[in-house]
Copies of this chain bind each other. A is one copy, B any other.
Amino acid sequence: MAGTRDRILDSGGEFFRRQGYAGTGVKQIVEAASAPFASLYHFFPGGKEQLGAEVIRRSGAMYLQLIDLVFTPAPDVVTAVSNFFNGAAETLRQSDYADACPIATIALEVASTSEPLREATAEVFESWISGAAQHFREAGISTRKARELAIYMIAALEGAFVLSRALRSTEPVKIAGAAATAAVRSALPESGRQRSGLRTGSPARR
């Protein structure tokens, strides 16, 4: 049984992802969370903005776990990237194109309207970039190139989400996935193209 505070955070996360930050009312959030209205301001004295910031960081941390969950067991990074995009496409389809990135809508909304929230989204994106880059480095890619690939992969996914949700088609995600996969493959060191996922000699991750 999740606590009231957690239920509010979960509920907020769902609404913000699907309807955006400005488009979601705090009353709607607490109602769906089966929480008393006053609890919102009890747990989040900073009101909607504090709730938004915590939702962003919480959703961001969960998505980072998902990245690791896909990359770690994969035989190599190329397969991991492919699986990542394929999984995203499947989630998109199953949710009727509602569930894509948990913070992209908020990120665009608040980028020029709320510094605290903008910073929260920036921290999350930075954590994803670091996380993905780490996996690329472990595949033998240079630090600099690994970060570029990570930024590029996340950008391709985010942009594909925008198109796929608007067009109601998984085509953009699939095309972006193919492109990202190809980019990662061509960035692998020669020796790594056959067994890129090998983690011999690497210290514990992160």
A→B interface (CB under 8 Å): 18-23, 96-98, 104-105, 107-109, 111-113, 118, 121-122, 125-126, 148, 151-152, 154-163, 165-168, 171-172, 175-176, 179, 182-183
Contact = CB atoms under 8 A, between A and B. Distances in A.
Interface of chain A, main secondary structure:
helix
B111 A109 contact: no
A48 to B, nearest CB: 12
Contacts of A171: 151
Counting chain B CB atoms within 10 Å of each CB, the highest count among A152, A175, A182 belongs to: A152
A118 B166 contact: yes
13 contacts: A22-B23, A98-B111, A98-B112, A108-B165, A112-B165, A122-B166, A125-B166, A155-B163, A155-B175, A158-B159, A159-B162, A179-B183, A182-B183
A111 B97 contact: yes
Contact of A109 (B97, B98, B105, B167): B105
A113 B175 CA distance: 26
A135 B145 CA distance: 30
